[in-house]
Amino acid sequence: MTRQTVLICNELGLHLRAAARIVGSTARFPCQVWLSANDVTVDGKSLLGITSLMASQGTAVTVSAEGLKEEQAVQETCRLIESGFAPSTAS
């Protein structure tokens, strides 16, 4: 299992559009992905689950993954969160 903790730096926190970006990213990986914040862990491929974290700016979020390409899934998800959910320039 790969795990990394990042802070939500986006002023609006983990809102619906940001959660949708995470789901779009994590769905590409053939592994299980989880996000944890405020003592709650949710499926990182579930829009409803991610929004239920209600993570505001400054909240620590732990991204975990297990399975094929787990390291890439965690790295990409953390990069997305750290960027404030800015569009990726990588193809």
Sheet holding 60-67, edge to edge: 2-7, 60-67, 31-37, 40-43
- Name the β-bridge partners of 74: none
Residue 80 appears among annotated catalytic residues = no
Per DSSP, 47 falls in state H
| Amino acid symbol at 91 | S
Q: Which residue out of 9, 15, 46, 49 is catalytically annotated? A: 15
> Any idea which residues carry the catalytic annotation?
15
